[in-house]
Structure 1
Amino acid sequence: MNSGAPKKSPELAAMAKVFAGGVMISFSPVLFKLSGASPSAGSFGRTFFGGMFLLVWAIFRKESPFKALKTKGFLPIMAMCGILFTLDLEFWHVSINYVGPGLATIITNFQAVILAVLGVLFFKEKATPILAASIVMAFMGLWLLVGVDVSALPQSTIIGVAWGLGAAFWYSMYLLAVRNSQGRTGKLPAITNMAWLSLSTALVVGATSLLRGSEFSTGGTTGFWILVLYGIGPQAIGWLLISTGLPGIPASTAGLVILIQPTLAFIWDILFFDLPAGPARIAGAVLALAAIYIGSVGRKPAKVKE
């Protein structure tokens, strides 16, 4: 007779991880906006503080993270991922400054639709009516989100949307780079992998900021500590929860649960920054989120040669 408490379902535990990670990451644009930091400083703070936290954690767990540096092909792959993630973060932070955290985050999550299209064009994945529907829904949602009368939109909104779509593209490229690198440098522990991805991005951000002479403001003392929180919370713990939880749940469930991140970012924008949210904008958000979900689960990725 089993008198003990029922064991927790592994799938339920994995779903809880993904959900918690999504909630934590939903505060990313809020923290950046509150910090008052420049886009470059925001990107650097997020990845540097998050990367250092993960590196210390990896050492504490005896993952021997520095051994990865001697792995053949490791440094070029990290450099490529760092460049692409830098572009994604910089474009996204600029978009936030123009259109706010909610809209910028939803637009950036169009990467799910972009990846589906790239899969058809370059990876011999099958084009389906569902994919076509997701593209139509994405742009209908965007149309409603920014305002039905596009000709009357402020120039700042158009610029912000363009930067957000750019962020979605670069994030798609980053995900493809990570996916294609799997197996080439050996399977690294999750914490070690996230640590080096974060720190390689911080290095690229710092170097390119110096070369460009771009503004590098942390937003003062308060902004600096918000960036520390931004790095340790969403960048380190949030993404680690998602990356370790995703393999334990079905793709359809993962796609649905992970939508909590752009959904909450939109809600936080309404609550914290007074984003106007009439019926048209709400309908646009629903359509856009549905398109993101379909794009993330409505395709079968082609096998990658390793």
Structure 2
Amino acid sequence: MSNRLAAVMLAAGASLISLTGILVRFADVPATVSAFWRMLFGGGILALALLPAGVWRRVRRSDWLWMLLPAAGMAADLALWHRSIHGIGPGLATLLTNFQVFFMALAGVLFYRERLGPRFLAGAVLAFGGTWLLVGADWSAFAPAYRTGVWLGLLSGVAYTVYLLGFREAQRRRRPALDAGAWLAVNSLLCALLLAGLALAEGAPLGIPDPRSLVALLSLGLVGQCLGWMLIVRAMPQLPASLVGLLLLLQPALAFVLDVLLFERATRAGEWLGLALALAGIFVGSVRLGLGKAHSAADSEGPQP
């Protein structure tokens, strides 16, 4: 695969993933329920697509066990992120969950004795400064539900970090290596099972109420969980980390723009500046780590949903 083709694939995958927050808004179901159907549809479609290749014959019982922790992390990530979308809109919620690049760096310090350099600090200052322009300057004027949505968006990034750490550990222990698509399918199906239990505990019905919601949820699984992330997973190893980090920023950037266009999000000049600074900070942090996030999937370095 040429670098140009890989870059086009990565850009296309990030663009498709940017639609997931919009689709969550269009699906007229509770947050946990939309997350459940996303993972069930996505995992089921991917599992069927892998049948002709005989990949499932190589999946062991231990693979399912090792994926329990990352599946729990992903379930928490999606449940929190989808709630954040309902509270503050898909654009800002997607931006906030991308702060996982900083949580991953802190996890590297705590668990792997990595060191944080000036690049990380510069990225953090840019990202959090930009976020302050977006939400901090008017914090006291926001409704309690909006402020809760902001915190849920950040917490979803923490949950995604748990997913990444667990996923990487499962991959490291697997010899011989397992196909990335199989890992993603196993994680998706386990995550759907956990989300079904969470929805039942919340008393949220798992039914799909109307054709519009069905189309939105099917699109979440097909576009967000399968096609978008498979493009990203296949393209990432072929490209330098700096280009990967830059192209993956299409996801939060496009999600924010679509939020403004489709849901008429009122955005002042200072907020656009905050968005630019936050994206720049995330880029600096993602290049340092050699990864970036877009909501749900995985490869050897990270992704993801």
Identify whether the pair has TM-score above 0.5, normalized to the shorter chain: yes
Q: TM-score, normalised by structure 1?
A: 0.90
Report the Cα offset of residue 221 of structure 1.
Answer: 2.6
Which residue, 269, 272, 282 being the options, matches 1:282?
Answer: 272
**Tell me, what secondary structure is at the counterpart of 1:127?**
coil
Unaligned runs of 5+ in 1: 1-8
Q: For 1:102-117, list aligned pairs within 5 A.
A: 102-117=91-106
Instruction: Provide, for residues 165-205 of structure 1, a one-character-per-residue CA deviation record: whole Å limited to 9, x for no partner.
Output: 11010011111111121132331112222111111111111
1:222 aligned to which of 199, 203, 212: 212
Distance in 2 of aligned mates of 1:217 and 1:130? 47
- The answer as to 2:27 corresponding to 1:38 is no
Which residue number in structure 1 is paired with residue 186 of structure 2? Answer: 196
* 1:152 pairs with one of 122, 131, 141: 141
Flag the structure with larger Rg. Answer: 1
Alignment of 1:205-244 (within 5 A): 205-216=195-206, 218-244=208-234
Which residue is 2:88 aligned to?
99
- Percent identical pairs in the alignment equals 34
Give the structure 2 partner of residue 267 of structure 1: 257
Counterparts of 1:24-35 in structure 2 under 5 Å?
24-35=16-27
> Given that residues 144 and 283 in structure 1 are in contact (C-alpha distance below 8 angstroms), is that contact kept between their aligned partners in structure 2?
yes
Question: For 1:183, what is the secondary structure of its paired residue?
Answer: helix
Q: State the partner residue of 2:240.
A: 250
Question: Which residue in the other structure is 1:178 paired with?
Answer: 167
Q: Which amino acid aligns with 1:247?
A: P
Contact 1:47/1:199 (<8 A) preserved? yes
Is 1:125 the counterpart of 2:117? The answer is no
What residue identity is the alignment partner of 2:14?
Answer: G
Matching of residue 52 in structure 1 with residue 41 in structure 2: no
- C-alpha distance in structure 1 between counterparts of 2:262 and 2:47, whole Å: 33
Cα drift, residue 300 of structure 1: 7.3
The letter for the 2-side match of 1:285 is L
Could you say which residue in structure 1 is the equivalent of 2:288? 298
State the match for 2:10 in structure 1.
18
The one-letter amino acid of 1:268's match is: L
- Look up the SS of the partner of 1:298 in the other structure: helix
TM-superposed CA distance for 1:279, in Å, is 0.8
Quote the Cα distance in structure 1 between the aligned partners of 2:49 and 2:79.
Answer: 27
Q: In structure 2, what is the equivalent of residue 82 of structure 1?
A: 71
Q: CA deviation at 1:219?
A: 4.3
**CA offsets, 1:149-174, max 9 Å, x none?**
32222212210001001101001111
Deviates more, 1:188-197 or 1:237-246: 188-197
TM-score computed with the length of structure 2 as normaliser: 0.90
Structure 1 residue runs of 4 or more that deviate by more than 3 Å after TM superposition: 214-219
Show structure 2 runs of 5+ residues with no match: 292-300
1:104-151 C-alpha deviation (Å, 9 max, x unpaired): 000000101111122223221112112112222222111111251322
Contact 1:42 1:218 in 2 (8 A): no
Contact 1:111 1:171 in 2 (8 A): yes
1:164 aligns with 2:182: no
The answer (yes or no) to whether the contact 2:55–2:179 under 8 Å persists in 1 is no
Query: How far apart, CA to CA, are the structure 2 residues paired with 1:188 and 1:162?
Result: 36
Secondary structure of residue in 2 paired with 1:47: helix
CA distance in structure 2 between the aligned counterparts of 1:28 and 1:84, rounded to whole angstroms: 18
How far residue 81 of structure 1 moved from its aligned partner, in angstroms, is 1.6
For 1:191 and 1:255, the matched residues in 2 are separated by 22
More off after superposition, 91-100 vs 179-188: 179-188
| DSSP-derived class of the 1:37 partner | coil
Counterpart contact for 1:104–1:161, Cα < 8 Å = yes
In the TM superposition, residue 13 of structure 1 has moved relative to its aligned partner by 1.3
Contact 1:68 1:74 in 2 (8 A): yes
Q: Which amino acid aligns with 1:67?
A: R
Q: How many residues align?
A: 291
